[in-house]
Every structure is written in C-alpha cells, then in structure tokens.
Amino acid sequence: MPLPNTQETLRTDFTRLGVVPGMTIMVHSSLGKVGWTVGGPVSVIRALLDILGTDGTLVRKR
C-alpha cells in the first residue's frame, strides 16, 4: 500500500509536473485520483498555493 500524500510530497509532485511560482493554473480533479491525502483537499490546495506564491493564480473549476 502506498504512503499517503502530504502537503510536502504534493508540492514536490506539482513542481515536477511543471508548476512554478507566478503561474495561473486551473484545476479540475478528483481527490480519489490524487490518492489518500493527509488533510484532504485542503492540503492539495495549500500545496498548490505554496508553489504559486503571491503572484500566481489558482482557479478551481466546479
């Protein structure tokens, strides 16, 4: 069984995918596809916002 995602591991994964500070990104995802995450969707959002910084924009599609 794989280890759960954490805010730190998600930051690493998103950075490897090419997310960088200052970007504008739109996210539409299923938490089930991300996998078990400590802190749930809040950790995913915080990890993305940490990378994007104050100059980046995170858009969530409903």
- The single residue listed with the structure tokens 């980046």 is 56
**CA-to-CA distance for 39 and 53, rounded, in angstroms?**
20
**Cβ 48 vs Cβ 19: under 8 Å:** yes
pLDDT in tens, 48-62: 999 999 999 999 777
Looking at the whole model, is its pTM more than 0.85?
yes
- Which domain, by its residues, includes 45? 7-60
- What kind and span of H or E run contains 27? strand 24-27
**CA-to-CA distance for 55 and 1, rounded, in angstroms?**
37
- The number of folded domains in the chain is 1
**Domain membership flag for residue 32:** yes
**CA-to-CA distance for 60 and 42, rounded, in angstroms?**
13
**Domain membership flag for residue 17:** yes
pLDDT in tens, 5-62: 999 999 999 999 999 999 999 998 888 888 999 999 999 999 999 999 999 999 977 7
**CA-to-CA distance for 1 and 47, rounded, in angstroms?**
23
